[in-house]
Structure formats: structure tokens, C-alpha cells
Amino acid sequence: MTNSEDGRVESSVEQRKVEDLSQEELGVWVLDAIRRAMVHYGMWYTEVAHQLGAEAANRLEGQAAERGMKIMIERLGKVLGFETKNGMPKALSEMKREKLVELARAVSVNWLVGDGVWFQAVERERDMTTAKLCNDGCWAHFSPYEAYRIKQLLGLSEKPGLMGLAQALQFRLYAWINRQSLRYEEDGSLRMEMNECRVQLARKRKGLDDYPCKSAGLVEYPFFATAIDSRISTECIGCPPDPHPPEWWCAWRFRLTT
């Protein structure tokens, strides 16, 4: 208890600080802090897209990440004791290729896990219709964003045509998870088939019907294709709940329009 200058009696509040946590509790706090930082980063992107538009959000996210990732990785390197090189952990450039491929696949599958647990959380809270609505809306933002990032990574031109789209489809996160095939048809269109789908195969093993993903696909693929090249149109050949042959789960056709 202390007396303030105006004579009031003040009492200090003794509370635990982060530094006072046990080893296990502190580990939990660190993971939660990473989680909060990820959500906050995503909120920045969402708000910039809302205020300035998706094109500006993609461009500005690129600028923010180019500066921020290097700073964050170097700071973590100092704490965790790993060297950095060209803005990324040096261990990645020295890792055996087989292990690096395994890591890339694990990161991609973790992305799908995040997508799945969000869907299930909304479905349990409300219903599948609401979960599908949220899912489709999420694809409307993520699909063109992923296309933008791939264009930057590959150095594709503004309008790379169907050849650029075919290349970009091979660099999606899904390309590490599912097995897909691409081919040009006689009329010059590009056909993509999803020959193995991790989600649908899991449902099949459980004896469940196909997940009706067509509504999401009708957002995902057209938005991705037009973000690669605004001249590309997308046609759904078939996607659950549509009937499909055993060799593919969904199929899409892309054409270059004038």
C-alpha cells in the first residue's frame, strides 16, 4: 500500500508476467504468439484488400513480406542459433534435396489441414451450407493471391497464356498434395484432371460419398486462371457432386479468349 501525492491510498497489483511462466507454459505462450502473429498478418492483408482492392493488397503484401521476412528470420536465427543466407535459414540451402522435398510437402499438407479444420469448425458451429459459403468466399481471395505469388516466383509475364497457366498449376500448394495431369486438346485448350484428391480419397476410405466441392471449384479455378491471364476462360468438365470416371475426381478446361 502506498500514498499518492493527493493523499489517496494506492495498492499495487501483483500479477504473473510472461517471464514468470514455467518451461512448458512458456512454450505454449510462444506457439500462441506465433498463432496471433499469423492471424494479425492475415488481417492486415484482408483490411488492405477491403480498403484498397485485391490488386493493391497483393502488391503491398509482396513489399511487406520482402522486408519483414528477412528481418524476422534473422532475429529468430540469432535466438535459435541458426545461420541465415539470402534472407532464409542457411540450413534450407544445405539440406539434402530429398529432405527439402519432404519439407515442402509437409508445409503444403499443413496448409490443407488448416483449411480443413476451419471448415469443420464452422460446420459444427452452424451447418455444412454455411461452411461451404465461407469456404467458397475464402477461395475467392486465396486463389488469385496464390496465382499472383506464383507469377512473381516464376517471373511470368502479365499475360503468359495457357503455357503460363500450365506452368503455374504445377506450383500450387495442391500440386504437392494431389496428383493432377495436364494436356492440350486438339482445339488448343488446356485440360486439367485431378487424378488423386487427398480429401476425396480420405472420404472414400471411410465409406463416405464424394464431397460436393463443385461450388468451391467454380470459384477456385476461374479466379486462379484469370489472375494468371485475364484472357483465360474456365469450363468445368465435371466435379462432385457430378458423376465422374474412376480415373479423375474433377476435370477443368481452359481456353484463351481474345
For position 235, what pLDDT does the model report?
98
pLDDT for residue 9: 62
- Identify the residue whose cell numbers are 493471391: 145
Question: Which residues of the chain are under the pLDDT cut of 70?
Answer: 1-11
What is the pTM (predicted TM-score) of this model? 0.88
Per the CB < 8 A criterion, the answer to whether 227 and 164 are in contact is: no
Contact 42, 34 (CB under 8 A): no
Q: Residue 86's pLDDT is what?
A: 85
At 138 the pLDDT is 95
Q: What is the pLDDT of residues 8-63, one digit of tens each?
A: 666 677 788 999 999 999 999 999 999 999 999 999 999 999 999 999 999 999 99
Q: Which pLDDT belongs to residue 87?
A: 85
pLDDT at residue 10, rounded to an integer: 66
What whole-number distance in Å separates Cα of residue 243 and Cα of residue 235? 16
